[in-house]
Structures are given as structure tokens and as C-alpha cells.
């Protein structure tokens, strides 16, 4: 689970760097207005972040359902004979 949180943090750092590039290119910041939100690269980064965050959340739920983070996950839907 810690790896998923680290991945989320890494995405946030990457998206922040995309925002900073957009601010420099546009000569504006989010604090001054929302012009940077119109930047196509930053818009894509935000959209991808939403998808990534949902995927990481679902992966965490699947890992918890499969037995947690301490051991290799085994899907409960796999029959005992196949494990």
C-alpha cells in the first residue's frame, strides 16, 4: 500500500512540474487567475491524474481484498486447488 501512496505523490510532483512549465510559458500563475488551467498540457496532466488516482484507489482495494500488502496477493476467486 505504501507503494501506491508513493506513486500518487510522484504523480503530484510531476503534475506540479507541468503546472510550473505552463505558468512560465503563459506568464501567469493559478494564484493570479485560472489562465494556466486553459493550457492543454496542464489540462491533460490533471485529467490523467484523475484517472491515475482512481486506478491507484482500485488497486489498493483489490490488494486489501486479496489479503493485504504483507504477502503476495492471492485472489479469493481462485479456487484452493489452483493456489
Q: What is the pLDDT of residue 75?
A: 54
DSSP at 81: T
Residue 43 exposed, middle or buried by CB count within 10 Å (0-12, 13-18, 19+): middle
**CA–CA distance, 66 with 75 (Å, rounded to integer):** 5
pLDDT in tens, the chain (83 residues): 778 888 888 888 888 888 888 888 888 877 776 778 788 888 888 888 888 888 888 888 888 888 765 555 555 555 444 54
Q: What's the pTM value of the predicted model, to 2 decimals?
A: 0.59
User: Measured at the alpha carbon of residue 45, what is the angle toward residues 13 and 62, in degrees to the nearest 5?
Assistant: 80
User: Measured at the alpha carbon of residue 76, what is the angle toward residues 74 and 82, in degrees to the nearest 5?
Assistant: 70
Amino acid at each position: 500500500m505504501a507503494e501506491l501512496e508513493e506513486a500518487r505523490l510522484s504523480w503530484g510532483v510531476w503534475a506540479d512540474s507541468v503546472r510550473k512549465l505552463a505558468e512560465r510559458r503563459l506568464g501567469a500563475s493559478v494564484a493570479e487567475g485560472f489562465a494556466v488551467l486553459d493550457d492543454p498540457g496542464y489540462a491533460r496532466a490533471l485529467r490523467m491524474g484523475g484517472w491515475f488516482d482512481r486506478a491507484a484507489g482500485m488497486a489498493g482495494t483489490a490488494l486489501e481484498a486479496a489479503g493485504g500488502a504483507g504477502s503476495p496477493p492471492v485472489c479469493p476467486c481462485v479456487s484452493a486447488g489452483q493456489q
